[in-house]
Amino acid sequence: MNRMDEAFKKIRAAGETALIPFITVGDPNPAVTLDIISEIEAAGADIVELGVPYSDPLADGPVIQRASERALRSFVTIRTCMETALQARQAGSKLPFVLFTYYNPVLQMGLDTFIQEVVTHDISGFIIPDLPIEESEKIRSKAKAAGVHLIPLVAPTSHERIENIVRDASGFVYCVSSLGVTGERTDFYSGIEPFLNTVKQLTDIPVAIGFGISSREQVARFSEICDGVVVGSAIVRQIEAAIPLLEKAETKAQGLQQIREFVSQLKGSKVHEG
């Protein structure tokens, strides 16, 4: 069974909700990304999204854009991100990995090669925010045949379009909590609960929510009505703030501890010393 499916099965059986952190691979460098994966796993993360840095991240707000810029300065590519996932696995990580990438790097790699590399590097699924449902059938069918998930993004829209997007969804459905790009928010789309209920009525697979969620209170709120909660910009901001510590050997552990404590707070769990 796909690692993501196993994770959601266990989480549902326990009556819990998955915490799904997003990080940009290579921010501030690939070696530290491996340390961050270890820390957020220890903090209680259930699945992790590995963001591929991209020069024109249309769905991302300024915090993740800056992270992409830092990673690109280290020449991080989609292949670097895949290698990072495999290295984390070899270091003992049990987390399901989801690759968050725009479509251009996938096209440059070639669809067959991309799917093969996703499998080879033990990545459970991928999200392509700029690939519309109308153009996704080819890669979706290849992913399904390989046993990995193309995870759809669905924003508040018509019932007909929501139904069309989730009909062939696998892994989980990623519901967008707010219109616009990623970024921390205090307010969400006013019809968010009816929107989530509509999605849940149209699919039996897990439903997760993301975009703008940044506090324990918000995670707790959406945990009542979703199978998973994605937190991106708030964690990436914590990493950004910790960079001066992460880049020095004598303070690296302190910077990593700050990131772990933040993720533990989001999860609602105590920090365990590693």
What are the catalytic residues? 49, 60
- Largest pairwise CA distance in the chain: 56
Instruction: State whether residue 11 is helix, strand or coil.
Output: helix
- DSSP assignment letter at 136: -
Provide the 10 A C-beta neighbour count for residue 107. 12
Q: Measure the CA–CA gap between 14 and 17, rounded to whole angstroms.
A: 9
Beta bridge partners of 174: 153, 208
Q: Measure the CA–CA gap between 134 and 212, rounded to whole angstroms.
A: 26
Task: Give CA angle at 268 (126, 151), nearest 5°.
Answer: 15
DSSP labels for 21-84?
EEEETTSS-HHHHHHHHHHHHHTT-S-EEEEPP-SS-TT--HHHHHHHHHHHHTT--HHHHHHH
What is the strand order of the sheet 173-176 is part of? Answer: 149-150, 125-127, 97-100, 48-51, 18-24, 228-231, 207-210, 173-176, 153-154
Q: Measure the CA–CA gap between 175 and 171, rounded to whole angstroms.
A: 13
